[in-house]
Amino acid sequence: MRRLSSVDVNFDEQLNSLLAFETVNDAALIHTVDQIIHDVRTHGNAHVLKLTQQFDQHPAQTFAELELTQAALKAAFEGLDPTVRTALELAAARIRSFHTAQKQDGWQYTDELGNVLGQKVTPLDRVGIYVPGGKASYPSSVLMNAIPAQVAGVTEIIMVVPAPKGDLNELVLAAAYLSGVHRVLTIGGAQAVAALAYGTETIPKVDKITGPGNRYVAVAKRAVFGQVGIDMIAGPSEILVYAEGQNNPDWLAMDLLSQAEHDEIAQSIFVTTDASLLEQVAASVEKLLPTLPRVEIARTSTNDRGALILVKDRTEALALINRVAPEHLELCVDDPDSLLPEIRHAGAIFMGRHTPEAIGDYCAGPNHVLPTSGTARFSSPLGVYDFQKRSSIIHCSPTGSQSLAQAADILAQQEGLDAHARSARYRVGGQS
């Protein structure tokens, strides 16, 4: 793994280069996706079926065959190995419990003039959840996307998951069953995003689409943003592990490798004030790498995008953390609570040495859909709030409206909006 130190003369440049990652902006890809969206809007189910046969080699002959029944989901759940079933139920229960604590309520108050002001909170009517198929088909992602929607009170949750050659992951279906998903369609790619965003003969259009996907899915989500809401354009996953004091270097190395095994472009960064610990972790990474089934992916990720960074002190460490704004941040120190107030930007913060990111990925309760590539600077973990929205409420009484109508009149005139001014003025004294 590459080593950096904050005393390097070109440390800032090295850091910028390490963190550089641009979201998809490939003109040919964008054109292809735009065409798929256009064709799905024009031809509906027939085109979705055609692309599903073509790209996924799905054996379905009719569109109806692409939809699963609730009975199939239930059967998948009931067919689970009891140990796995218990673990999945634990995860679902904990995710539901955490997200229930996150649910937001409306509020209102009466001002000193007697006017009522507030906000009403309403769940979305219908959402689409994208679940990748094939090698990256993760049941945990089903729980993490569907349960917050269910807790929010979304009326209809429609899941799409591609089934290459018709093959499905039974645990994904079981997770859908546990999360209250209403409909499951075995479609994927830009065609699934287009079908959810614009609707087809049998798929109603949804209000929001969440969930990770490949480049086609990312570009399609960006293209339909505005027509529907989207969660985010996900980049590669990253972790920053900060350690001080007594640590087991194997634990730290495995936490870094758990990120690296996701993807060749995943990023694992280790930060410490302790040069000796840095070398121990480097050695552990080298020792453990060859023992991993996904060794090639993890090696490419650690070689190309990983880094071990030596800093002088906590002040430098905190500045670096906030500069990186990591998706996952581990604080493997004695006193993580003393660092917490200074952490401004991170998707999720794993406190202390007994909170590996893997626990958060599956079953701690908080969401594992987190802002990547530094977007924790301005965005949040997926949550119930992504499936709720607000409407402002303004209720003026005949007397309460008087001074407001007068101020509105004055300001509207300044903006040259005469109808606004007169509309307000009508309410002053009951007539214009």
Please indicate if the annotation marks 328 as binding a ligand.
Answer: yes
**DSSP-derived secondary structure letter, 399:** T
Contact 141, 369 (CB under 8 A): yes
d(Cα 12, Cα 427) in Å, to the nearest integer?
A: 60
* Shortest separation between residue 236's beta carbon and a copy of itself, angstroms: 13
Contact string (CB under 8 A) for a copy of itself, positions 161-190, x = contact: ----------x-------------------
Amino acid at residue number 286 = E
According to CB under 8 A, which residues from 312 to 351 bind a copy of itself?
336, 340, 343-351
Options 157-165, 196-204, 313-321, 365-373: segment touching a copy of itself (CB under 8 A): 365-373
HSE-CB at 254 with a 13 A cutoff on CA atoms is: 13
Work out which of 156, 250, 279, 316 binds a copy of itself, going by CB under 8 A.
250
Options 45-53, 192-200, 286-294, 304-312: segment touching a copy of itself (CB under 8 A): 286-294
Other C-beta atoms within 10 Å of 403: how many? 12
User: Smaller CB distance to a copy of itself: residue 7 or 113?
Assistant: 113
Contact 215, 24 (CB under 8 A): yes
Q: Going by C-beta distance under 8 Å and a sequence separation of 6 or more, which residues neighbour residue 396?
A: 115, 404, 427
Any catalytic annotation for residue 316? no
Any catalytic annotation for residue 327? yes
Please indicate if the annotation marks 43 as binding a ligand.
Answer: no
Query: If phi over 0 gives left and psi between -120 and 50 gives alpha, with beta otherwise, what is residue 199?
Result: left
* Shortest separation between residue 5's beta carbon and a copy of itself, angstroms: 26
According to CB under 8 A, which residues from 108 to 127 bind a copy of itself?
109, 111, 115-117, 119-120, 122, 124-125
Please indicate if the annotation marks 47 as binding a ligand.
Answer: no
User: Smaller CB distance to a copy of itself: residue 184 or 228?
Assistant: 228
d(Cα 278, Cα 284) in Å, to the nearest integer?
A: 10
Please indicate if the annotation marks 395 as binding a ligand.
Answer: no
Please indicate if the annotation marks 262 as binding a ligand.
Answer: yes
* Shortest separation between residue 427's beta carbon and a copy of itself, angstroms: 5
* Shortest separation between residue 64's beta carbon and a copy of itself, angstroms: 25
Q: Nearest to residue 175, comparing CAs of 101, 66, 322, 74?
A: 74
Please indicate if the annotation marks 420 as binding a ligand.
Answer: yes
Q: Nearest to residue 2, comparing CAs of 20, 17, 23, 22?
A: 17
Q: Is the dihedral of CA 400, 401, 403, 408 positive or negative?
A: positive
Residues acting as catalytic residues: 327-328
Question: Binding site residues for Zn(2+), as ranges?
Answer: 259, 262, 361, 420
